[in-house]
Amino acid sequence: MATILVLGGGYAGMRAIKFLQKTALAEDNLILVDQSSLHTEKTNLHEVAAGTIDPAKITYDIPSVIGKRVTFIQDRVTNVSVNDQQVTLAKHSPLTYDYLVLALGFQSESFGIKGVDDNALPMDDLATSKTVYHHIESKLKYYAETKDRNDLKIAVCGAGFTGIELLGELTQSLPKLQAKYQTPAVKVVCLERMPSILPMFGQPLRDYALNFMARHDVEMRLGASITEVTPTAVIYEDADKQAHQFDANTIIWTVGVSGSQVIADSGFEQRRNRVVVQADLSLADHPEVFIVGDVAAVMDPTGKRPYPTTAQIALAAGEQAAKNIGALRRGQTTDAFYYQSSGTVASLSDRDGIGEIFSKQRPVHGYPASALKKVITDRSLLESAHLSTVFHKGRFDLYH
């Protein structure tokens, strides 16, 4: 009998534990650890932050979907010692393992920029995303008393996927909040260091997204490199190194993420808390340890750059780790991880979006792109949870 321990109930960990029930030997002991008993569909956090979705719709109860043979331990992982094959937890006794799947996910990254930790609002989990929405709503609610114009200004820092998708949702929710609290229009400004947005998409789709923002009065300040965040302003340099500032009482931080801090705390060789793994997702010199999702850097077949850190790739990696552990349990060799993207989509509100199916040759925009994103979300729910979860939490209204 072997103890197989999965750390993290995010996309990668949930997929790994689901597949381990098929790939592990019948006598193996399967354990999943997460600090929360809820799995969060983190690709939808921007909807919680903008207030366009009920937070309960993007979470589901881990113990009720993992299957009877898995032991679930709700606790925070504080340290992983691969030399001792031991994991330290905040409350429970340490756990030892024969095989480990390390899938502890991401956290918001401040990149050491002054004032970010104290003054900007991250949105890297359910709690912080709810805080963003409550903050926005309270600024509008009390504007009648404060008459502080900066209460009606929102800065979104970073125009990556998260920033762009959040801006898209805000174009839906802000008009409703303005009407509810009878405020003048809210000014939304996005500050992005690069001269363009979303470089993975072709120019026509990028232009489509920029036109969407212009149509909805979202101001995109490109080439704006943020140097400091104060309680009431974002300070940045333009391409000519001239300093500027945008005053706002709501400053949302979507400038990028790093892997879990447990990686650095445990002494792994890492960059931004990501560990470079072998082609089969195992840790060098530790064939019993598999690292997947946002804590891993997996080189793509060119060997020149890692795969991007997306939920779809985390799901595929969790599955491959489970298959490789199953192979090792049967004395077989492991397979290299390979991922062929079937498409990338960024939503621009519930009804609009941009995406590419298979390659840059097949761009989609508007409602078809947004529908495609819902299909991707529902498919991942189906593969990691249950059909009933899709019916209760799926994205298409026809389920409800």
In the complex, what is the shortest distance from the CB of residue 338 to ligand NAD, in angstroms, rounded to a whole number? Answer: 19
**CB 329 to ligand NAD: min, Å:** 32
> Helix, strand or coil for residue 51?
coil
Please report how close the Cβ of residue 80 comes to ligand NAD at its closest, in angstroms: 23
Select 160 or 287, whichever has its Cβ closest to ligand NAD. 160
Which of 191/291 has CB closer to ligand NAD? 191
Catalytic residue among 41, 47, 109, 165: 165
Can 169 be counted among the known catalytic residues?
no
For residue 257, the minimal CB distance to ligand NAD (Å) is 5
Kindly tell me which of 240 and 285 has the beta carbon lying closer to ligand NAD.
Answer: 240
CA dist., res. 381 & res. 120, Å (int): 31
Q: 254 or 282, CB closer to ligand NAD?
A: 254
> Please, is 333 exposed, middle or buried when counting C-beta atoms within 10 Å of its C-beta (0-12, 13-18, 19+)?
exposed
Given strand 233-237, what is the order of strands in its sheet?
225-230, 233-237, 243-247
State whether the Cα torsion 172-174-177-179 is positive or negative: negative
Long-range CB contact pairs, 262-271, < 8 A, 24+: 262/77, 262/78, 262/79, 262/80, 262/104, 263/104, 263/295, 265/78, 265/79, 266/79, 266/80, 266/81, 268/80, 271/297
Which residues of the shown chain bind ligand NAD in the complex (CB under 6 A)? 43, 113, 157-163, 165, 191-194, 224-226, 254-257, 308-310, 344-346
Q: Which residues of 13-22 are buried (b: 16+ CB within 10 A; e: fewer)?
A: bbbbbbbbee
237 HSE (CA, 13 A, CB side):
6
Q: Under a CB-based contact definition with an 8 Å cutoff, are residues 342 and 74 in contact? A: no
Tell the burial category of 359 from Cβ atoms under 10 Å away from its Cβ (0-12, 13-18, 19+): exposed
Nearer to ligand NAD, 192 or 319 (CB): 192
Sequence length of the chain is: 400
7 versus 197: smaller Cβ distance to ligand NAD: 197
Find where tokens 């002991």 sit: 29
Question: Among residues 34 and 165, whose Cβ is nearest to ligand NAD?
Answer: 165
How many angstroms separate the CA atoms of 19 and 130, rounded?
A: 32
In whole angstroms, the minimum distance from the beta carbon of 140 to ligand NAD comes to 25
User: Which residue from 103, 113, 108 is spatially nearest to 124, judged by alpha carbons?
Assistant: 108
**Which residues in 182-219 are b (16+ Cβ under 10 Å) and which e?**
ebeebbbbbbbbeeebbeebbeebbebbbebbeebebe
8 Å CB contact between 299 and 292: no
Catalytic amino acids? 165
